[in-house]
Amino acid sequence: MPGIRWDSKLATVAGKHADTIEKAFGYTTVGELLQHYPRRYVDRDKISEVDSLAVDDYLTVQARVSRARQHPYRDKRTGRQAWRLEVMLQTEGADLMLTFFDRSKHTADWRARVVAPGRIGLFSGKLGRWRNTWQLVNPQTKMMDDGEDTETALDDLPAMVPIYPATAGVQSWQLADAIATALDLVDEIPEPLPADVLQGRDLLPVRQALQWIHRPDSWSQKGAAERRLRFDEAFVTQAVLALRRSRVESLDTKPRAGRPDGLLDRFDQRLPFELTAGQREVGEDVAADLAAGHPMHRLLQGEVGSGKTLVALRAMLRVVDSGGQTALLAPTEVLAQQHFRSITAMLGDLAEGGMLGGDADATSVVLLTGSSSTAARREAMLPAASGEAGIVIGTHALLEDKVQFADLGLVVVDEQHRFGVEQRAALTSKAQESPPHVLVMTATPIPRTVAMTVFGDLETSTLAELPAGRAPIQTNVVALDEHPAWLTRAFERIREEVGKGHQVYVVCPRIGAGDTDNADDPDDPDDPDVPPADDGKRRTASVEEVAPMLADGPLEGLRVEALHGRLAPDRKDEVMRAFAAGDVDVLVSTTVIEVGVDVANATMMVILDADRFGVSQLHQLRGRVGRGGLPGLCLLVSAAPAATPARERLDAVAATTDGFELSRVDLRQRREGDVLGASQSGRRSSLRLLHVLEHEDVIAEAREVAGRLVAGDPTLAAHPVLSAQVRRLAESEQAEFLDRG
């Protein structure tokens, strides 16, 4: 079968299995199949040993079937007839049972014929225990031909047997056979790395690396192959990001250097506190970016309460002093309204441009949200279009075609992970004369490796220092599984806090009884970091049920109000203003108060069903307390049993207030595909061997090499193979996540 190419159709090597492989993994070419690397390897010489077993170990064993019995049963989940095949193996060690479950009688009968007594097979799966017997459930199976000698069959296996990521429809052995055919027949494997990079880093050629990753004779060969292919993954990703940085730097835009004695200088003179060292340093970096002749593209990350909004406001005032306008895009109406209130309060008469009593040099600040009335929309859109409004704050409503700006010079995106590429592009495209500067902010700390891998086309600034006046926050897990009575004590603790003259948040994962977890503000898309819903047996707390229960029960006599995304905008604003004014003791809310809400007198938060929230959400939520110099308390109420992943997540949040450490905890608990966008696209991550927490040195090295290469060859004209791989990645669904910066 001569003439197999890297881009040949999958069927040329996978035959009748091509369709099922494509359906399972999305692969359509030989090259994509060759990048499906083994998950683990089994020593051929130990493949018949069944000893030193432990639950959850992966076992691969070759053995003869001694007994097989089929049992019909009723599937409790579907209520339909199903079949269970129990198989006992003859092994050199402990008894080992295989159990196969099939819903179709046809499939069950076929399996019983295949895994019949007397036949020899290769079986692989995760070990469990059932009725004091070691068991593999639905193991991957490869049966030997009848009459084939066991020793001969073992001799035909490679020294290190590769076990591939597989599915119910595609066995590891089917993948191994197709990959072996591809390795033998593919004519030429394109080499993406320049020769000097290969030699300078002592990396294997790509063909050798692929041979050794799929057919290693030793662990050292496997390690050398992984080192080369891991660098490939980092290098191609960093080349995409380096090209994006290069394109931004090649654009011309209007410098926004500000002016002496302008709004920014006057605002700084009025500040009742000193800027932190971090705020001053980041402010200088932003000022230099704004004064340059190409668009700023900067990520500003910082702990909850570190003062990112103040940094952004000073940047906005610098642009207004330069004759331009700014737009602040927020993910929810509550946050947009909070930004509007806090910015107008900080500016005072400097925000009253054109108004009686306003400062002579003042600008105008307007608010536009999806539920704004027709009159309110007109009052916001006209000043934006005329240029009268220097600062325009809003939600997704800012993205509408009819919203126009006279001279949009700066776009600030708050909580950038809530917005996609197209949404951000829709706003930046409203700049009439030249590309605007872009500042994206997040209070969700990002490990350095993720910043380099995902936000590598942005300059990154970090605010780690908290302003003076921020008090420590004590966080405790209220473990209802072990101590059900602690919930009563939590409600008593709320009364005590209110008795001291303070205010309290109670956070619920749902709005109403029939809602899914975290269903909230229509302007607030589902958070991809939230754990998947449970099996429905446990009813999680909802605002509409908890608020009246507390008001009529354990918190009777206190002023309790409810807040969630389905309230009318005027009502939401009324409740938040009342809470900020101290007219509400306890605010029962969903995550609409997650970011931006700043009530100095709020000192306590109780998060019900806290295991229904992600690590970053919990960290953000508790940042709403302890903001007025008073110590804060956060209680994480959960029925999750001890030692479960959910409880471990809560214990980690309770153990530290370091958001950057928590971001690493969060990343460890989530699949790599989630980090790199596969959860959004529904496809597998393009990274197989590169792990962003473990391979910081590889990512940093690839970033430096890719940056140099792109600087010398901005179109990659001299590197056509690399250019093709970069183009494929940039055009893939993976790019949706890479573009999120």
Domain assignments of the chain as residue spans, ordered by start: 48-156, 263-292+307-442, 473-656
Burial 348-373 (b: 16+ CB within 10 A, else e): eebbbbeeeebbeebbbbbbbbbebe
Q: Which residue has the tokens 């709005």?
A: 511
Q: What is the pLDDT of residues 165-221, one digit of tens each?
A: 888 778 888 899 999 999 999 988 999 999 999 998 999 999 999 999 999 999 999
User: What is the pLDDT at residue 418?
Assistant: 56
pTM over 0.75: no
Which pLDDT band, with edges at 50, 70 and 90, does 144 fall under? confident
- Give the least confident one: 78-92, 436-450, 597-611, 694-708: 436-450
User: What is the pLDDT at residue 385?
Assistant: 93
Look at the domain 263-292+307-442 and name its fold.
Answer: Rossmann fold (3.40.50)
Same fold, 48-156 and 263-292+307-442: no
- Give the least confident one: 78-87, 233-242, 589-598, 651-660: 589-598
User: What is the pLDDT at residue 436?
Assistant: 92
Give yes or no for residue 112 having a pLDDT over 80: yes
What is residue 485's three-state secondary structure?
coil
- Integer CA distances (angstroms), 137 to 20, 58, 65, 134, 635, in order: 22, 12, 15, 10, 40
What average pLDDT score do residues 344-353 get?
88
Give yes or no for residue 741 having a pLDDT over 70: no
What average pLDDT score do residues 448-466 get?
73
Q: What is the pLDDT of residues 231-253, one digit of tens each?
A: 999 999 899 888 888 888 888 89
For the record, the structure tokens of 213 come out as: 């990753």
User: What is the pLDDT at residue 455?
Assistant: 65
Right CATH number for 48-156 from 3.40.50.2300, 2.40.50.140, 1.10.132.10, 3.90.580.10? 2.40.50.140
User: What is the pLDDT at residue 581?
Assistant: 92
The residue among 726 and 684 whose pLDDT is bigger is 726
Which of 496, 499, 516, 498 has its CA nearest to residue 508?
516
- Integer CA distances (angstroms), 1 to 16, 18, 365, 586, 691, in order: 16, 17, 70, 74, 37
For the record, the structure tokens of 324 come out as: 């331009």
Burial of residue 424 (number of CB atoms within 10 Å: 0-12, 13-18, 19+) = buried
Which pLDDT band, with edges at 50, 70 and 90, does 75 fall under? confident
Which pLDDT band, with edges at 50, 70 and 90, does 535 fall under? very low
Give yes or no for residue 1 having a pLDDT over 70: no
- Thinking of the domain 473-656, which architecture would CATH place it in? 3-Layer(aba) Sandwich (3.40)
Q: What is the pLDDT of residues 550-566, one digit of tens each?
A: 999 999 999 999 999 88
User: What is the pLDDT at residue 544?
Assistant: 94
